Amino acid sequence: MAKATGKKAAVKKAAAPKKAAAKKAAAVSPKKAAAKKAATPKKVAAPKKVAAPKKVAAKKVAASTPADQKSLLQKLFVDGLKDIYGAEKQLTKALPRLMKAATSDQLKQTFEEHRAVTEQQVGRAEQVFQLLGIKATAKKCEAMDGLTREADNIVAETQKGTMSRDAGLILAAQKIEHYEIASYGGLAQLASTLGLEEAKNLLGQTLQEEKDTDERLTQVAVSSINIESEKEQSPVPVMEEENKDENKQEENQNGQEENKEN
């Protein structure tokens, strides 16, 4: 029995190293498993980097679509609307000056009526902005700035209280009206192309008002102002009279010298 017990003990001692090796192997395997898990996200992330260029390419293709071309036309329309909106605001400040400088009551009244109409046109332009869903923004209109400056120059270069000044003011005012007619006509056509029918109708209403004002100015000019201004004589400046006297004296002196020589 003692010998048997010794054999069993020897078997246990021999088995002990095997169990320890198994434990060591088991201790290593979780590390390997963790390494494998850590490596897997890299394999999943790789396709995302490859897919990114495809999205960029899709945007480049979309940039040349007809829908984008329509947005460019709409941008042109909005820029033109801002320009004429600014022009109307500039005109509301200039018309009182023209009215004050005018001679005839008929022309004064025409300018006063158009100032009231222009204020309504400013409000109508704001309605168009509202239809587009954007804030009403005025851009300085270089054309209107030049046209109103030209009107101010006419006032400075003509004599106060004359019909000639009124004729010049009508000419300047009609230049302004023709610019507005061209602007509103073009914007109405753009609105029609973009399918903005309500905006087109609003712009068309203002367009007709500008045409009516132009006709009214023509009637005022041909009914009396142009006819009366034709009769007015330009006063001779004092310096011009002095130059005439000096020229006569020189001519007399030259004549006397020629007689002596003969």
What would the pLDDT profile of 21-38 be if each residue is shown by its tens digit?
A: 444 444 445 445 444 554
Predicted confidence at residue 214, as pLDDT, reads 97
Low-confidence ranges of the chain (pLDDT < 70): 1-70, 235-262
| Those residues with Cβ within 8 angstroms of residue 160's Cβ, 6 or more apart along the chain or in another chain | 101, 103
| CA distance between the termini of the chain | 183
Predicted confidence at residue 253, as pLDDT, reads 58
Q: Give 45-96 pLDDT, tens digit per residue.
A: 444 554 444 443 434 433 334 444 558 999 999 999 999 999 999 999 999 9
What is the C-alpha to C-alpha distance for residues 205 and 196, in angstroms, rounded to an integer? 14
Spans of all domains in the chain = 69-227
Give CATH for domain 69-227: 1.20.1260.10
What's the predicted TM-score (pTM) here?
Answer: 0.64
Q: Which residue has 């260029």 as its token pair?
A: 53
What is the C-alpha to C-alpha distance for residues 66 and 209, in angstroms, rounded to an integer? 35
